[in-house]
Structure 1
């Protein structure tokens, strides 16, 4: 089969057609540098040119969506490079009621799309780019830490007010990302897990607002990916979302790729155990894991990727093994 470019490979995989090799997407944080738009863009372009991924999952700081509402954050050396909250922006029920709409072109939100625009300009449309967007309920948890769970049960109206404000700002941000050159969004939800919420709670406080974002992007984005974070995820509920791609910790929680391929007809993204085989296995183990993932789906409708963000200490030789596995399975 003739070599495909990134767009051809992704579009063929989405359609369930054969590809010249398995498509691959790899993403990681760039801690502290991700606070500076120019540095983040430079890292993003360098990463893409080094690995020639078939999709760029843009990697702003995971806390960008709460800093303009008062949450203080810091990078404290987490293995995945994520920043953490050092002081929540919401500390009482009344704080939810006081939450006001932000201008997403300014502040921390604005810096992320500034960095994105610099990146897409440099890449020149050669590869699909997705801006990272967090579900409103995920943003609410980052704003308030664990008090969210009590507040949404004891003061649901106050939390719902805040969730609508967050949703409106998230929609503004997502649409501005498209203006900045993104081809869609990577919508990450971290609370659609039975360990954290019930299905009824996620329907009320999660799904309702997630779908507002996706509805606002309808007809404007080329494609979107949904990331379902954590264990015991609500796969059946979320796999009904109007997205083209799904990503979750398929090596750690159900369903596996084989099962998911029967329940979702878009493109699955996964197959790598980013903290397991990728970091602890041999190069041969990594290549074998990639091939086994493709075998689960018959080599169709799968893009090789991590279940979540790569560890920042992952070495080039291990990522090269991922790429060899993707090529050898062609």
Structure 2
């Protein structure tokens, strides 16, 4: 059996699926987030249990606010990844307008680089290892009102100059962080954009406050890494046409579920021959008995393969897997692919 590295490298080069289908999943480790050794162990153990062919490093989504000085209490609930903020780095337009730049010697960023380096050393040449970054606009949200876009949208429309200053500072911080990660040998990044959807911003706002920063990062990666994916967060009204030509090797998004105006696998396959990383609905597919979950995944696999039409594909979720189900259910992803003769 070829390694995950070999399977995915072949897809990047040929733009075709091949005889074997790579799989991936990822989810948060709330109790392990504060301790590097625990986080490393969880990453390795879950990748082994799930037979993942790709390591998407599931960094705590609040690492950048912590790096910028947030008073943050890590979650102690295994079913809830996000902890409690007692203060935020950005509380006003004035804060955004004077936000500084961090380099990779920042304690929080340096700790992330170190544990990512351990993971790279474990899987180098066996599985691609991707570090997690957010685009600057998504970071503004997380530094101000985490997981709630309203304040960021208000700032965008009331004080775009202050917002632009913060975006440029965060882009430079991302640059320093990425340089350090590349020095550790990462294969690429999982680049997240949370605002690339018409339900939040206009096309003009997207092209001003999102696209240039994603393009900047893609150019910075070029020739220094070989496999990065753009995670377009959300379910409906995604601005895929603005993103499709950016120089990322793969796209990840929610292709199925109950939301209207979803972007299907067939939609994306018509637009691009790049690697598509998607296929099942992390929000609904893992609830019920193992037999029910397995039947759902088998149906998702059949449908995804039909829509994909032989293109480059990694069978995976549209976002993080749920924390309120038995982890053993995630091994059913591999079972379904294996029974389909693709492993």
**TM-score, normalization by structure 1:** 0.93
User: Are 2:143 and 1:160 aligned?
Assistant: no
Q: Partner of 1:250: helix, strand, or coil?
A: coil
Partner in structure 2 of residue 89 of structure 1:
89
User: Are 2:242 and 1:237 aligned?
Assistant: yes
Q: Are the counterparts in 2 of residues 71 and 89 from structure 1 also a CA contact under 8 Å?
A: yes
Task: Write out per-residue CA displacement over residues 230-278 of structure 1, whole angstroms, 9 at most, x where no aligned residue.
Answer: 1321111122211110001111352100111111210000111112122
Instruction: After TM superposition, give the deviation of residue 164 of structure 1 in Å.
Output: 0.4
Q: Partner of 1:305: helix, strand, or coil?
A: strand
Partner in structure 2 of residue 261 of structure 1:
269
What aligned pairs does 1:11-50 form with structure 2 within 5 A after superposition? 11-14=9-12, 15-50=14-49
CA distance in 1, matches of 2:297, 2:51: 19
Q: Are the counterparts in 1 of residues 30 and 76 from structure 2 also a CA contact under 8 Å?
A: no
Please give the root-mean-square deviation of Cα atoms over the aligned residues, in Å. Answer: 1.9
Q: Are the counterparts in 1 of residues 5 and 127 from structure 2 also a CA contact under 8 Å?
A: yes
Q: Partner of 2:28: helix, strand, or coil?
A: coil
Which one of 165, 171, 174 corresponds to residue 175 of structure 2?
A: 171
Q: Are the counterparts in 2 of residues 28 and 80 from structure 1 also a CA contact under 8 Å?
A: no
Q: Partner of 1:279: helix, strand, or coil?
A: coil
Call closer, same or farther: CA 1:80–1:240 in 2, change over 3 Å. farther
Call closer, same or farther: CA 1:32–1:5 in 2, change over 3 Å. same
Which one of 204, 208, 223 corresponds to residue 204 of structure 1?
A: 208
Instruction: After TM superposition, give the deviation of residue 299 of structure 1 in Å.
Output: 4.1
Call closer, same or farther: CA 1:238–1:262 in 2, change over 3 Å. same
Where structure 1 has 5 or more consecutive residues not aligned to the other structure, the ranges are none
Q: Are the counterparts in 1 of residues 29 and 78 from structure 2 also a CA contact under 8 Å?
A: no
Call closer, same or farther: CA 1:291–1:324 in 2, change over 3 Å. farther
CA distance in 2, matches of 1:41, 1:117: 10
CA distance in 2, matches of 1:82, 1:112: 17
Instruction: After TM superposition, give the deviation of residue 96 of structure 1 in Å.
Output: 1.1
Q: Are the counterparts in 2 of residues 132 and 185 from structure 1 also a CA contact under 8 Å?
A: yes
Q: Partner of 1:271: helix, strand, or coil?
A: strand
User: Are 2:197 and 1:193 aligned?
Assistant: yes
CA distance in 2, matches of 1:61, 1:16: 32
CA distance in 2, matches of 1:45, 1:324: 19
Q: Are the counterparts in 2 of residues 116 and 181 from structure 1 also a CA contact under 8 Å?
A: no
Q: Are the counterparts in 1 of residues 297 and 333 from structure 2 also a CA contact under 8 Å?
A: yes
What aligned pairs does 1:62-211 form with structure 2 within 5 A after superposition? 62-74=61-73, 75=75, 77=77, 79=79, 81-83=81-83, 85-145=85-145, 146-211=150-215
Partner in structure 2 of residue 303 of structure 1:
314
Instruction: After TM superposition, give the deviation of residue 186 of structure 1 in Å.
Output: 0.5
CA distance in 2, matches of 1:322, 1:52: 9
Q: Are the counterparts in 2 of residues 286 and 318 from structure 1 also a CA contact under 8 Å?
A: no
Q: Are the counterparts in 1 of residues 99 and 166 from structure 2 also a CA contact under 8 Å?
A: yes
Q: Are the counterparts in 2 of residues 21 and 327 from structure 1 also a CA contact under 8 Å?
A: no
Q: Are the counterparts in 2 of residues 80 and 311 from structure 1 also a CA contact under 8 Å?
A: no
Range that drifts further, 134-143 or 5-14: 5-14
Tell me the matched-pair count. Answer: 328
Partner in structure 2 of residue 320 of structure 1:
331
